[in-house]
Chains A and B, each alone.
Chain A
Amino acid sequence: MNELLNVRNLKVIFPTERGIVRAVEGVDLHVKPGECIAIVGESGCGKSVTSLAMMKLLSSPPALMQADEMTFDGKNLLQLSEKQMLDIRGKDMSMIFQDALTALNPVMTIGRQLDEMFMRHTNMTRKEAMSASINALHLVGVPGPERRYFDYPHQLSGGMRQRVLIAMAFAIKPKLIIADEPTTALDVTIQAQVLDVLRKLQKENGTALILITHDLSVVAHMADRVYVMYCGKIVEHAPLRDLFTHPKHPYTQGLLSSVPHLSDESNRFVQIPDNVPSPLKKPSGCYFHTRCAYCTQECKERMPRLTDIGGDRMLRCHHPLGGE
């Protein structure tokens, strides 16, 4: 099947005074039209940088980006000029950010901010843009969109603001939306509502979605396939069900078992020992070996390759769980 987005060997580094931060180290990923993939990992594993890199939104300097391939919708993003990228951003590929309060301009009404999307990418007049914006607000379930159009971001609740961002991202019906922690800043109940809106719009419009999150319940709710990222590298890739039922990488297993279950009577949180290594001082060999229960001498010395293990799964581990 034709891929909508294909990224091979994406690398992003940030040269700093204390050394080079390798935020993303050779990420491969692909997205088919209309599917939802999730990129999962702890804070600082390079998820957000990856998403910004795919829209070529990393400001350089300081960031330096490199990739063997980055094609989107038949276009080679690596060769497009900034001017050509401007026509893709927002129109074919758009983004939903984590904290809707800071992601919206505080001194501009949400209506105006939505209008910008239509005015930039269609030939609508101001009036047409306004009714399109009100309609977009209506679609994401903002009550009284005609009045809300004139509200400033601080006058809306967190859930409403997030809906506005979703409306903005879907405004031009893009082929791909990258949602960076879209519900992290919200209450659990609001989270579910917002995810439902996101899912509904995604299915209706046949939009492909890259969901970036650390929240596995969100992943289970939304994604078709999952990439697990650790320290700037993909460590495991699998279809949703396989990943949740048979995780092969010890890190994935750790992430899954750190979600508390009601049936658990031990009253203790299972956690992955130790912290994420500093991006300035990554361990030798497999980056996860310092925190891995199955670590051997080989893991300390050699970084495992990301290998295809069949069943649309990829794994980067010397000692996969549950046998080879």
Chain B
Amino acid sequence: MGKGYVFKRILYTLFIFFIVITLNFFIPRIGVEDPAERYYPAQGNMTDVEYEIIKQLTREQYGFDVSTFQQYLRYLKQLLHGDLGTSMQAGSPKVIDLIAERVPWTLVLSVSTMLIGVVFGILIGAYAAWKRGGWLDNAVLSASTITTALPGFFLALLFSLYMGFEWEWFPAYTDPNLVSSFDWSLDAILNVMQNAALPIIATAIGSIVGYAQNTRNSVISVSDEDFIITARAKGLSNETVLYKHVLRNAMLPIVTSLGMSVSGLIGGSVVIEQIFNWNGMGTLFLNANNTNDYPLMMGIMIFLSGFALLANLVTDLCYSLLDPRVKLGGARR
């Protein structure tokens, strides 16, 4: 891999991140005359003088006492030190601490969902393509029609209703003490697994079907390529052709979609987390939004977009390891 290519990709990623930070800083400020007034609405029993003092204190506390541009520079400096700001929640917790507290719980759901989706999806998809027109192939096609037509939350609600409330296989509503009582004991881990089962099942189905269909289509289109006939004309067995020639090429689009879903891993899902009362990033973001906690919202946005950009960068670099044709930065000779 060319060093220049890697360097260019990293610079490009940093540039995009800078733009994201800038937009993230300015967009919430659009149309807000006095942020202090928003943070601290006037109460009935205050005099104007008292309210002015309170607003001034608020401005100083949150740094609104200087010009917007100075605030921007200060914000950039703060970010450079790895500080995502201070939440407006009671006790003024650091944004980064709030995020760090939720990320593991989000990852429990998203990583298991993705692993299940990737492993089963690729296996099923490859087998469906191998026996093109067989029962599994048809099943994948019909399943993908269903999962694309039905919104994910609808499936989740169905699972919650039947597997949770009606048949009581798994807890329909996550134990509210799950996070606070977690202590790495076997019981606690089992408890987490049991509580996570429904949200994982509900999201994994769509994920499996998605990967299965991607893989199936990709394997089939590669199998029709001329170089597959060349490989077979060499006297290679079907298995060798599949492993050495088909799969390597068929994996290229899968890696792309994998990279895209990695960037969504820590974002969590607001809807799924609400349905199952799961305390992850989605819920944190929703609460920040409902309580007008701007620093927290901005911090989450920066964190998520930074992670997404990093995931994209890694995907790009992996892709160029897999496909020699993109070594020159996309230019094909």
Residues of A at under 8 Å CB distance from B? 52, 55, 57, 85-91, 94-95, 97, 99, 102-108, 116-117, 120-121, 152, 154-155, 165, 168
Q: Which of B233, B322, B324, B332 contacts A90 (CB 8 A)?
A: B233
Known contacts A97-B230, A154-B332; decide if A106 and B235 are in contact (CB<8 Å): no
Residues of B at under 8 Å CB distance from A? 225-227, 229-237, 244-245, 248-249, 252, 322-325, 332-333
A-B contacts counted at CB < 8 A amount to 78
Q: Is the CB of A99 within 8 A of B248?
A: no
A89 to B245 alpha-carbon distance, docked (Å): 17
Q: Which residues of A contact B325 (CB under 8 A)?
A: 106-107, 152, 154
Ordered by A's residue number, 7 sampled pairs between the chains whose C-beta atoms are within 8 Å are: A90-B233, A95-B229, A97-B230, A103-B227, A107-B248, A108-B244, A116-B244
Known contacts A97-B226, A107-B322; decide if A57 and B236 are in contact (CB<8 Å): no
Q: Is the CB of B333 within 8 A of A90?
A: no
Measured CB to CB, the nearest residue on chain B to A95 is B233
Q: Is the CB of A102 within 8 A of B232?
A: no
Q: Is the CB of B237 within 8 A of A97?
A: no
Q: Which residues of B contact A105 (CB under 8 A)?
A: 227, 230-231, 245, 248-249
Instruction: With both chains docked as a complex, state the minimum distance between the C-beta of A240 and any C-beta of chain B, in angstroms.
Output: 27
A225 to B324 alpha-carbon distance, docked (Å): 43
Q: Which residues of B contact A99 (CB under 8 A)?
A: 226
Q: Is the CB of B234 within 8 A of A57?
A: no
Q: Is the CB of A116 within 8 A of B236?
A: yes
Q: Is the CB of A88 within 8 A of B235?
A: yes
| Beyond known contacts A89-B232, A103-B229, A105-B248: 20 more, CB 8 A cutoff | A55-B233, A86-B235, A91-B235, A94-B233, A95-B230, A102-B225, A102-B226, A102-B227, A103-B230, A104-B227, A104-B230, A105-B245, A106-B249, A106-B323, A107-B323, A116-B231, A116-B234, A116-B236, A155-B333, A168-B230
Q: Which residues of B contact A107 (CB under 8 A)?
A: 248-249, 252, 322-325
A117 to B233 alpha-carbon distance, docked (Å): 10
Instruction: With both chains docked as a complex, state the minimum distance between the C-beta of A267 and any C-beta of chain B, in angstroms.
Output: 38
Q: Which residues of B contact A57 (CB under 8 A)?
A: 229, 232-233
Q: Is the CB of A152 within 8 A of B232?
A: no
A120 to B264 alpha-carbon distance, docked (Å): 44
Measured CB to CB, the nearest residue on chain B to A121 is B235
A320 to B248 alpha-carbon distance, docked (Å): 54
Instruction: With both chains docked as a complex, state the minimum distance between the C-beta of B221 and any C-beta of chain A, in angstroms.
Output: 13
Q: Is the CB of A168 within 8 A of B234?
A: yes
Instruction: With both chains docked as a complex, state the minimum distance between the C-beta of B245 and any C-beta of chain A, in angstroms.
Output: 5
A105 to B250 alpha-carbon distance, docked (Å): 12
A10 to B248 alpha-carbon distance, docked (Å): 36
Q: Is the CB of A154 within 8 A of B324?
A: yes
Measured CB to CB, the nearest residue on chain B to A98 is B226
Ranked nearest first, the 6 interchain pairs of A and B with the lowest CB-CB distance are A90-B235, A89-B235, A102-B226, A90-B234, A95-B233, A152-B324
Q: Is the CB of B235 within 8 A of A120?
A: yes
Most chain A beta-carbon contacts within 10 A, residue among B229, B244, B245, B332: B229
Instruction: With both chains docked as a complex, state the minimum distance between the C-beta of A64 and any C-beta of chain B, in angstroms.
Output: 16
A89 to B235 alpha-carbon distance, docked (Å): 4
Q: Which of B234, B249, B252 contacts A89 (CB 8 A)?
A: B234
Q: Which residues of B contact A120 (CB under 8 A)?
A: 234-236
Instruction: With both chains docked as a complex, state the minimum distance between the C-beta of A184 and any C-beta of chain B, in angstroms.
Output: 13
Known contacts A105-B245, A107-B249, A154-B325; decide if A97 and B235 are in contact (CB<8 Å): no
Instruction: With both chains docked as a complex, state the minimum distance between the C-beta of A101 and any C-beta of chain B, in angstroms.
Output: 9
Q: Which residues of B contact A86 (CB under 8 A)?
A: 235-237
Measured CB to CB, the nearest residue on chain B to A169 is B233
Q: Which residues of A contact B234 (CB under 8 A)?
A: 89-90, 94, 116-117, 120, 168
Q: Which residues of A contact B323 (CB under 8 A)?
A: 106-107
Instruction: With both chains docked as a complex, state the minimum distance between the C-beta of B156 and any C-beta of chain A, in angstroms.
Output: 39
A275 to B233 alpha-carbon distance, docked (Å): 32
Measured CB to CB, the nearest residue on chain B to A85 is B235
A90 to B235 alpha-carbon distance, docked (Å): 5
Instruction: With both chains docked as a complex, state the minimum distance between the C-beta of A54 and any C-beta of chain B, in angstroms.
Output: 11
Measured CB to CB, the nearest residue on chain A to B324 is A152
Instruction: With both chains docked as a complex, state the minimum distance between the C-beta of B218 and any C-beta of chain A, in angstroms.
Output: 13
Instruction: With both chains docked as a complex, state the minimum distance between the C-beta of B146 and any C-beta of chain A, in angstroms.
Output: 26
A91 to B231 alpha-carbon distance, docked (Å): 13
Q: Is the CB of A106 within 8 A of B232?
A: no
A88 to B230 alpha-carbon distance, docked (Å): 14
Measured CB to CB, the nearest residue on chain B to A55 is B233
Measured CB to CB, the nearest residue on chain A to B230 is A103
Q: Which residues of A contact B231 (CB under 8 A)?
A: 105, 116
